[in-house]
Amino acid sequence: PRMPTAPVLAVRAVKGNIGVYFTGLGAVTPIYTVTVRSRVEGQLMKVYYQEGQFVHESDPLVDIDPRPYQVQLTQYEGQLMHDQSLLENARIDLARYQQLIGKKAVPEQTLATQRSLVTQYEGTVKSDQGLVDSAKLNLVYCHITAPISGRLGLRLVDPGNYVQVGSATSLAVITEVDPISVIFTLPEDQLTAVLERVHAGKRLSAEIWNREMTSRLSTGYLTTLDNQIDQTTGTLKLRAVVDNKAGLLVANQFVNAKLLVQDKRGVTLVPTASIQRNSQRTYAYVIQPDQSVTVRDLVLGTTEGGETEVQKGLAPG
């Protein structure tokens, strides 16, 4: 009996564009991560934020009991007023002695002693002013605000706890999430092509994909290269800053980074599935005008996604 014919699908080689990508495994790394700690001691009165909330710079986070520092400020202001009064009186006496010294009504020693006393009171007033400013600064520190815009993590403290300076427990952790960076590695034999384009002033675009390379999560640009190669792995670290408005990237998430090194335009492209290989050659079945089939040897270039560049062996159409 005759063998049944095998159905096939034919496609035309087309003229198009294809990108040359270098792919490396990376991890999502926030550009800024701030651990918020207290600069003063006291009871935690109020927590304004919620877990996972997005906050803007200067938004209130927590309040620490300000009353002890308010009392301290009042004491320092009173001491400052007392010493300012002594300084003012000493200056009046100094002016009087300066007039009397011209009439030789007081000895030179009295004038010198009064000048020294004025200088002493001036130093005391300056020290008192420093104590007042320090107390005012502590009052500012009692109201803790967000130093950057970003997303908060889990709540680490509850109202009513006593907060101490230098405690191992922080008040909050803020992570900047948009934009966000991805640090990935490339083998050293691919660095020459990257460095040539970076030194030429070109801005290389980057795509961030999930671990299975099935979904593109974000896009951005290469910003930084590390200054030394890891000799144990023969790779170099690179940083790409990408958009994260959709919130698909989370700190420390493992991803794949695809760095666009070259954009080839006007080349011959065919579906990768149409290319055949054996141990000796790379080829494709080409349909002739009379509907017969011939085997054509191919020289391939870049493969990206489901398309492959054909450098020799086929023409568009």
pLDDT per residue over 236-249, tens digit each?
A: 999 999 999 988 99
Instruction: Characterize 64-79 residue by residue with b for buried, 16 or more Cβ atoms within 10 angstroms of its Cβ, and e for exposed.
Output: bbbeebeebbeebbeb
Among residues 201, 198, 177, the alpha carbon closest in space to that of 186 is found at 198
According to DSSP, the residues that pair with 187 across neighbouring strands are 235
pLDDT per residue over 260-274, tens digit each?
A: 998 899 999 999 999
Among residues 202, 233, 175, 238, the alpha carbon closest in space to that of 23 is found at 238
pLDDT per residue over 208-224, tens digit each?
A: 999 999 999 999 999 99
Rounded Cα distance between 138 and 152, Å, is 24
pTM as predicted:
0.72
- Helix/strand/coil for 285: strand
Rounded Cα distance between 76 and 83, Å, is 11
pLDDT per residue over 124-135, tens digit each?
A: 999 999 999 999
pLDDT per residue over 21-74, tens digit each?
A: 999 999 999 999 999 999 999 999 999 999 889 999 999 999 999 999 999 999
The order of strands in the sheet holding 276-277 is 276-277, 282-287, 293-297
Q: For residue 265, with 0-12 CB atoms within 10 Å meaning exposed, 13-18 middle and 19 or more buried, which class applies?
A: exposed
pLDDT per residue over 74-101, tens digit each?
A: 999 999 999 999 999 999 999 998 888 8
Position 107 pLDDT exceeds 90: no
How much is the pLDDT for 157?
Answer: 86
